[in-house]
Structure 1
């Protein structure tokens, strides 16, 4: 139906305002149930405290945490310390001068900050499902690895259920994107059940509590990271990303990029997109020898939008019963490699998507069968799963083939997406009035003109669209 978009929007708004009365709550309309749940299981008592296994589950469909990884922090309710850890470590030891033991406690901070270990640490520091360098895949993309585990031995907490007090003020952040996550207070829940190694006997934790963390882009300290441009076979117009989508282009390319968050972009300098890739070392070094590697500064291509990542949506072909779109993701930042990237899109015709040729695909259906209008995509392993830094390998492309539904039309920008997310961050879209439009007075285009425009746009290299 033509009004299906309004119907879905009404349902989405109703759910949003009824379930989330506070404007500060983190809510994602494409992933309303997505969160990172932290489960804390006490598995053993010690002389002055306990040993706990802490598990972080990423239940988000398309938002993951990339290297350099997650940081988890909390405030102790009493005078607890951390005697030792497996699978993770704190960033600071704190003041342990009151202790004369050997070894000293691992951390005496009142508010410890915990980070993941790098892959393949010594065997004595490992625990199952640990040590991924802080990378936490999303459940929708990689459910088998969407968790991180570490073990902590806590002292000064007491060694009974009545003396242990739950930690407070949990915070979860990504080292690359700032805070972003808002965490609930710790809540005691039914004790976790565990199977013995032989699988025949069940045991349970002495005590279990959960913390739930939801993401909000408005809380993240980083500016926008992506924007979207449009084109179509029936129009010569290429709609660029809106100006200053992520930052504003500096007058002098050698000056730092201007944005609302100067600290986050102080090291980013932009260069002319027409600069040949093999000439970059001399551009970066100013002609000196030997030059630093291209990724040493955060070097970006100079564009009107100054976004590190651009997504281009091109309406490619209109068949009798199908229509085809080409999606190109371009990395313009020489200091960034995107491993396990995700792309989430909202469009009313996703219930008729028949094939994604070079991306993996999963329907999101955030509100059940009535809202099959969104999908997530990610790279095919060993083919385009990593979006390399800007340059010859700085883009990944795929065609999407849709069957025509009853709503299909080339008019009024219907063929373009309503929302676009890259790695969980919402991208800036062109204004609706800027969308490519059909020629005046032409309800349809001739086959010859359509083919000509397809060939012209297809011949444009990814760098021409920068």
Structure 2
């Protein structure tokens, strides 16, 4: 029977999304072992932003960490019983963090030193891995005597991830640097951590609004879409805005400094049905940051729409289809172009990013009725956004207005009729 955490973590748009933590014991030492610990983010559109991951566990016995390469423990703990060679950490429950960029080469390890920032698998698989090497002492010295750590956590309690216990797996096999030899770990085990938005917050963290070329009315985000508990402290006056805009930007996860809005969301995604052509239709998407204290780095936007299988052009964003259900191909991920717009600035004039996309019509399904042109689901940075209720979607007017080309054609036709009839009327 799956746990409640597993059930709430399941996401229909990313059914296999999780973070896998693998331990590979590479060699035995007189009092323990040397292991490589790798975090692999298999989530398609959810990354770990700054300040990065914190990985913790509880030792099964009296183990200590002699040394770490590519990471560090946040606390050394009580190592007073050791003389001479002092361990890196004597904590019973160590918390490990990644090193910052720019450390000396002798402190580096493969895929380390990114400040704990791990990209989503869908955005960049090569950057979705973080690893370090740890030397463990006062431990078992064989696969039969090692006791597995327990009580794993990622990021910290209440920050979204629930981790399983450690499970022994067949020893990992690695290719040598010249790829001519296969080396095998002494022992391997893994832990799986899954994300649940419900653990992080009882309210959504983003919302969606709609508009269309055929209706002047805008469908706003639902009122209090992200909860209205913070309305008393939201930023509304110009003096308040000026006092916080000059402050140092924070990172996603800190207490928000929200602009006063009807929805009270840090992020709003606006979907505008911009134009309807004979064979194609055009959509404009705008992502707006209403938080004066947060810059969103390496942001991602995921959406579901039945016509995503016929996207022909996306402007100013990178786009990748997410084929979660085989042939459906109705889900895609948008993200910023590196060094151009992969940073969504804090609230203000620069606090938005925009794209337009052109989709080829599927003649058998395309319609302007019943909100078909609007997305079914929208996610920002992996969190599902609150959508307007279906009865509020932009509706077609009772009499559709003529577009410019039709109006010109009708005017030209009337001129021809007048030219033919005028001589007969004289």
Q: Could you tell me the TM-score, scaled by structure 2's length? A: 0.88
> Aligned-pair distance for 1:160?
1.2
Give the conservation status (yes or no) of the 8 Å contact 2:27–2:186.
Answer: yes
Write the deviation string for residues 157-213 of structure 1: whole angstroms up to 9, x where unpaired: 1211111011112111279xx421122221111111122333322211110111111
> Aligned-pair distance for 1:222?
7.4
Q: State the distance in 1 between where 2:26 and 2:11 align.
A: 35
Aligned to 2:107: 125
Aligned to 2:314: 356
Q: State the distance in 2 between where 1:186 and 1:351 align.
A: 39
Alignment of 1:445 onto 2:418: no
Aligned to 1:338: 296
> Aligned-pair distance for 1:450?
11
> Aligned-pair distance for 1:271?
2.3
Aligned to 2:76: 93
Aligned to 1:238: 218
Aligned to 2:19: 36
Write the deviation string for residues 13-51 of structure 1: whole angstroms up to 9, x where unpaired: xxxxxxx85543121100111111111011121121111
Q: Secondary structure at the match of 2:379?
A: strand
Give the conservation status (yes or no) of the 8 Å contact 1:33–1:60.
Answer: yes
Q: State the distance in 1 between where 2:2 and 2:78 align.
A: 42
Q: State the distance in 2 between where 1:46 and 1:74 align.
A: 21
Write the deviation string for residues 427-447 of structure 1: whole angstroms up to 9, x where unpaired: 11111111110112x3x4310
Aligned to 2:94: 112
Q: 1:146 aligns with which of 128, 135, 139?
A: 128
Alignment of 1:396 onto 2:360: no
Highest Rg: 1 or 2? 2
Label 1:250 to 1:109 Cα distance change in 2 as closer, same or farther (>3 A): closer
> Aligned-pair distance for 1:319?
0.8
Q: Secondary structure at the match of 2:309?
A: helix
Q: Secondary structure at the match of 2:218?
A: coil
Aligned to 1:418: 376
Q: State the distance in 2 between where 1:221 and 1:113 align.
A: 24
> Aligned-pair distance for 1:94?
2.0
Alignment of 1:184-223 (within 5 A): 184-221=164-201, 223=203
Aligned to 1:385: 342
Q: 2:247 aligns with which of 293, 299, 316?
A: 293
> Aligned-pair distance for 1:101?
2.2
Q: State the distance in 2 between where 1:221 and 1:328 align.
A: 24
Give ranges in structure 1 of 5+ residues lacking alignment: 1-19, 257-268, 285-290, 452-466
Aligned to 2:36: 53
Q: State the distance in 1 between where 2:156 and 2:299 align.
A: 15
Aligned to 1:137: 119
Total equivalences in the alignment: 400
Give the conservation status (yes or no) of the 8 Å contact 1:95–1:108.
Answer: yes
Write the deviation string for residues 188-241 of structure 1: whole angstroms up to 9, x where unpaired: 111111223333222111101111111111122474221111111111111111
Aligned to 2:236: 271
Give the stretch that moved more between structures: 381-390 or 215-224: 215-224
> Aligned-pair distance for 1:249?
6.8
> Aligned-pair distance for 1:411?
1.0
Alignment of 1:24 onto 2:28: no
Q: Could you tell me the TM-score, scaled by structure 1's length? A: 0.81
Label 1:303 to 1:294 Cα distance change in 2 as closer, same or farther (>3 A): farther
> Aligned-pair distance for 1:347?
0.9
Dislocated runs of 4+, deviation >6 Å: none
Label 1:148 to 1:60 Cα distance change in 2 as closer, same or farther (>3 A): same
Write the deviation string for residues 239-284 of structure 1: whole angstroms up to 9, x where unpaired: 1111111131756xxx43xxxxxxxxxxxx4224xx49xx943x44
Q: Secondary structure at the match of 1:299?
A: coil
Q: State the distance in 2 between where 1:400 and 1:207 align.
A: 49
Aligned alpha-carbon RMSD (Å):
2.3
